[in-house]
Chain A
Amino acid sequence: MIGSLPLVGLRDIAMTFANGTRALTGFDLEVRGGEFVALLGPSGCGKSTALRLIAGLASPTGGTIAWTTIGEPQAGPPGPNIGFVFQEPTLMPWATVAGNVALPLRLTGMGRYEAALRVAGLIERVGLGAFADAFPRELSGGMKMRVSIARALATDPDILLMDEPFAALDEITRFKLNNDLAELWRALGKTVVFVTHSVFESVYLAERIVVMTPRPGRVFAELAVEAPYPRGERFRTSSDYVGTCRKVADVLAAATAGGAQA
């Protein structure tokens, strides 16, 4: 079990954009293998920036990001194997569901048929078995997001980075996707870093909630959510859930107020 080993560590990260905006200062975060971490904070606090830094899509202006290699070091392409889910589904409109999910595999040079086999299983896994040949415009918002998640899982990544993936969905769809994501996480044992501005979502999904201050973002507090999985609909209406949400909301309010004074 790799559960307790650190997978990636961010130390004293600073990120200042070319226009002078300071997105992050003194940001520290350690993600352990197999855990579900939520990054919670108000809009524009640098949560997404932190996620992009972990993904290597941008380089920090200060601090270090260190990965712990799992298994054979330096096997395959350099760098960690990452799955990323954006705020929007970010699908290629000209490709079918199967074509979109196969993209990461095809980009790493896997053959058409081998990729197709893997992809069929993934599409089934996110509940879209009947839509493999559909084009994105034929799908609902929730279904598009499922495709996006299946694509992120295609390369069997070490870590799944999710940037407010369900923010644009209606509540019913969001609850459903929250349930399915929690189920998927338990089944696959992936490490997940989930950015959200919803207290309810973070408490429902995560084992650990990292609360951030407004810009420039840094970690204000960390809270563990002890409730056992599977959490399910009953947890959503339990007093335990409501109590934890209130506690997290108070911390978030304190973080926001503290940031405003600073």
Chain B
Amino acid sequence: MSGAPPRAQDGRMSRYRIGERVLQLTLPVGTLAVGVVIWEAIVLLGDLPPYVLPAPTRVAATLISDWPVLWGSLLVTLGTTFLGLLLAFVGGTALAILFNQSRLVERALYPYAVILQVTPVVAIAPLLLVYLPQPVAVLACAWIVAFFPVLANTTLGLNSVDRNLVDLFTLYRASRLQALLRLKLPAALPYMLGGLRIAGGLSLIGAVVAEIAAGSAGAGSGLAYRIAESGYRLNIPRMFAALILLSGAGIAIFAALSLLSHLVLRRWHESALAREP
């Protein structure tokens, strides 16, 4: 019997939360619906041709009719993005660990990591395309932009270990490897995942920029290449359709990495705690 009242209260609480959730979802979706309707109305009332502004229904139709082409391109772009992200994560984390272990290496290399980051990737892409085969150049661009947030965040994380815990490890004469594996890396994990979340979006941007730069010169088949190609052909509905897919891919990457971060940290880290109402 004693268990019943709290459960009832829980039920009420979760119903309140569900209401909140529904509102959180319906509001942006509603905004989108209103926007789409207005867009459709403008095209209809102004009698605009599709090569000036295609109606949303026309874009949707193109998305369906051109699906085989667009789907293949999406896979190419996503493949580049994920590979770039993976390499950036591995490379960024490895370099951050190296920096953490050796001040000398950090002093020698860190400025160049910064230079790589602050130089606009749009400007680097054409050069890379000169020297590298196109798929490799695109991958390199995705890697360059995704690399730095991983490096910077992991470095920050490795350096923000609780001083007392460091003392504790000293007290028990822990080796450098033990301190790294049991103390520094776990402490840095929330930072690394934060860096990865930023890097995911940037990797997509890097891949897109390189594909655009390659443009008609390349034999590429990524989504951004489709956009460029459709632009030359004044196939505006397909440009919109590809853009929607790119945007969706970006959202999906961000959501997936957020979920990953939540799953890894949910048992112990403040960022993953549900706040009590």
Q: Which residues of A contact B (CB under 8 A)?
A: 52, 55-57, 77, 79, 82, 84, 86, 88, 90, 92-95, 103-104, 106-108, 135-137, 155
Contacts and interface: CB of A to CB of B under 8 A. Distances in A.
11 contacts: A77-B173, A79-B173, A84-B168, A86-B168, A88-B164, A90-B164, A93-B268, A94-B189, A103-B182, A106-B182, A135-B268
Contact of B267 (A56, A86, A90, A135): A135
Contacts of A79: 173
B169 interface: yes
A56 to B, nearest CB: 7
A108 B172 contact: yes
B216 interface: no
Interface string B164-184: 110111111110001000110
A92 B178 contact: no
Which 5 pairs show the lowest CB-CB distances between chains A and B?
Answer: A90-B164, A107-B172, A94-B186, A86-B164, A93-B268
B7 to A, nearest CB: 21
B268 A155 contact: no
Contacts of A52: 167
A107 B268 contact: no
Given A55-B171, A57-B170, A137 B182 contact: no
Given A56-B171, A57-B171, A84-B171, A107 B182 contact: yes
Contacts of A55: 171
Interface of B: 162, 164-165, 167-174, 178, 182-183, 186-187, 189, 267-270, 273
Given A57-B167, A84-B168, 18 more contacts: A57-B170, A77-B173, A84-B171, A86-B164, A90-B165, A90-B168, A92-B183, A92-B186, A94-B186, A94-B269, A95-B186, A103-B168, A107-B174, A107-B182, A135-B267, A136-B268, A137-B268, A137-B273
Contacts of B178: 107
Contacts of B174: 107
A90 B172 contact: no
A99 to B, nearest CB: 10
A104 B172 contact: yes
A interface, over-half SS: loop
A108 B162 CA distance: 21
A95 B168 CA distance: 15
A92 B167 contact: no
Nearest to B189: A94
A86 B167 CA distance: 10
B269 A93 contact: yes
Nearest to B269: A93
A53 to B, nearest CB: 13
Contacts of A92: 165, 182-183, 186
A82 B171 contact: yes
**Residue from B168, B174, B182, B270 with most neighbouring chain A CB atoms (10 Å):** B168
A73 to B, nearest CB: 18
B102 to A, nearest CB: 23
Contacts of B269: 93-94
Nearest to B165: A90
Nearest to A84: B171
B69 to A, nearest CB: 46
Contacts of A88: 164
B262 to A, nearest CB: 15
B159 to A, nearest CB: 17
A49 B178 CA distance: 26
A8 B167 CA distance: 21
A59 to B, nearest CB: 12
B164 A94 contact: no
A94 B171 contact: no
**Residue from A77, A86, A93, A137 with most neighbouring chain B CB atoms (10 Å):** A93
A77 to B, nearest CB: 6
A108 B174 CA distance: 8
Contacts of A82: 171
A253 B93 CA distance: 55
A142 to B, nearest CB: 18
Contacts of A135: 267-268
Nearest to A82: B171
A84 B173 CA distance: 13
A160 to B, nearest CB: 12
Contacts of A107: 169, 172-174, 178, 182
Nearest to B172: A107
Contacts of A56: 171
Nearest to A93: B268
Given A56-B171, A82-B171, A108-B172, A90 B182 contact: no
Contacts of B162: 90
Contacts of B165: 90, 92
Contacts of B168: 84, 86, 90, 103
Contacts of B186: 92, 94-95
